[in-house]
Homo-oligomer: A and B are copies of this chain.
Amino acid sequence: MRTSQLFLNTLKEAPSEAELISHKLMVRAGLIKKLGSGLYTWMPLGLRVLRKIETIVRDEMNKAGAQEMLMPTIQPAELWQESGRWAVFGPQMLKIKDRHDRDFCYGPTHEEVITDIARSELRSYKQLPQNWYQIQAKFRDEIRPRFGVMRAREFVMKDSYSFDADFAGLEVAYGKMYTAYSNVCTRLGLKFRAVAADTGAIGGSGSHEFQVLADAGEDLLAYNPDSDYAANVELAPAFAPETPRAAPAEQMRDVDTPKQTTCEAVAQLLGIGIDRTVKLIALVGGEGQFIVALLRGDHSLNEVKLGKVAGVGEFRFATEEEIRARFNCPPGFLGPVGIASDITVIADLTVNAMSDFVVGANKPKFHLAGVNFGRDLPEPTVVADIRNVVVGDKAPDGKGTLDICRGIEVGHIFQLRTKYSAALNATYVAEDGSQKHFEMGCYGIGVSRIVAAAIEQNHDERGIIFSAAMAPFEVAVVAVGYHRSEAVKAAADALYNALIAAGVDALLDDRNERPGSMFADMELLGIPHRVTIGDKGLAEGAVEYVARAGGEMQKVGVADAAAFVRQRLAA
């Protein structure tokens, strides 16, 4: 396409309400335009990006044997009443009454509708498995929509649903979707991780979130940069140190810490590393019993892990009053030495391997140094992994060490099992003649959210950096002086036509603008490859190539330019 035929309207300033960089850049580049709160129009340039993502999603879904259909956005309340979700979905569901005062909603998701289709269309095990998907507008009435298309009310989603005869079949379907989602993210050029999610009460082995790694993400992830391992920090295991606990080398002694109520402050005062300190966290268990958790000074408590330790169950942090009453000591100076023997002491795996450590003295303004288990205090009641992993911890897959980052969830795959097929009594006739409920999975990709997530991950001070797979155009041919130089016009047209003929999605910038303004637009838009054609270069028989993602400008012979670009696109 030629810029002269394209509706292009870039802005110098982002709207003041835009907080996220992706939101700012998408508005400035003219990809989206706000219609109302959480409602965005995809302008021609933005829609090109959205469609490229859709095409890749569709291709991977089809390869996985899924079949596309299109359900209505407007759904009758009766199905949601049957599943029980009409009452419990909450105000995110946009409820609607039609002219006959009947209840409907704008589908926030389609489990009910697809299960209704399956129960009438799929009658025999011979028709299984099936995986049906659609790419469609969804609506979720967010209370305070922000962040542009990252959390819009109306958004584009690919949702799919698998129907299998048994759990083994579901696991196969799930595995295919895991692969398809991984392929989508890879083809889009995204740094991502498939993160095992806590399946909570529903059970089943499977739920994974596909997280695009970016600072603006809501989720904190532990991942291995050298493998595909990733988990929510809450779920990543920490291991005992490889070096076992050393023998005591120091005597336990009081240390005067008049104002030092944190491990950092104590370590600083003593001139030691914080990894020589231990902190005590006082908790109250479900039956009112006191529990103390011991963690290394620089570690943080992982409440999910602690809750899973045998005998703990539900717990809460002790109040200051409770602490003073039980320990006769203010928080900040608590320690495990000399505490009542009926208090359960749970030591983290790391603490259990420590010797000669520093800990609160259980009296105001004092800590103890040179403390050792088995000598100065009993061995811990329980030793367990109760901390959050930190950067540099050993990766659970044994292939290196963990890094920590934030992630933006763009996909979620989930083993529903028979939750909806049982609720809607969706059954098939099994091979043995019995009626069985379908084993179902559901799989969602936030197609429109991917655009924002990709930009959060890939941008610089000049704008968006798109991968070729999702860029509005793969290459920009910037013709400097198109309207005044016959040579520039001829060379630019020739290169553009050669690229189009080769199937390259090229944009010829044929505007009568200053070069700086044209470059700035192409950079803001994130077009990954740029060829500049001007009289000066042509005098030497050359054009200039530069990659949006960085790297030196290169001179390329005019005749070689099309082949050069194609080579870069294939790289």
Where the two chains meet, the residues of A that have a C-beta atom closer than 8 Å to any C-beta of B are 5-7, 9, 33, 35-36, 39-44, 46-47, 50, 65, 67-76, 91-92, 94, 96, 98-99, 104, 106, 113, 116-117, 120-121, 127, 130, 132, 137, 139, 141, 143, 153-154
Contacts and interface: CB of A to CB of B under 8 A. Distances in A.
A42 B136 CA distance: 12
A35 B76 contact: yes
A47 to B, nearest CB: 5
A46 B132 CA distance: 14
Contact of A41 (B6, B39, B70): B70
Given A94-B98, A113-B41, A106 B74 contact: yes
Given A7-B67, A69-B43, A96 B96 contact: yes
A36 B44 CA distance: 34
A48 to B, nearest CB: 8
A503 to B, nearest CB: 14
Contact of A7 (B50, B76, B113, B130): B130
A259 to B, nearest CB: 49
Contacts of A153: 74, 98
A92 B67 CA distance: 33
A545 to B, nearest CB: 28
A77 to B, nearest CB: 10
Contacts of A75: 35-36, 39
Contacts of A70: 41-42, 47, 50
25 contacts: A6-B67, A7-B127, A7-B130, A7-B132, A33-B120, A33-B121, A35-B71, A35-B113, A36-B72, A39-B72, A39-B76, A41-B71, A43-B69, A44-B67, A44-B69, A44-B132, A47-B69, A47-B70, A50-B70, A72-B137, A91-B99, A96-B106, A98-B153, A99-B143, A106-B106
Nearest to A131: B7
A296 B466 CA distance: 73
A68 B48 CA distance: 9
Contacts of A5: 65
Contacts of A98: 94, 141, 153
Contacts of A69: 41-44, 46-47
A4 to B, nearest CB: 11
Nearest to A65: B5
B35 A72 contact: yes
A95 to B, nearest CB: 8
Contacts of A46: 69
Contacts of A6: 67
A33 B117 contact: yes
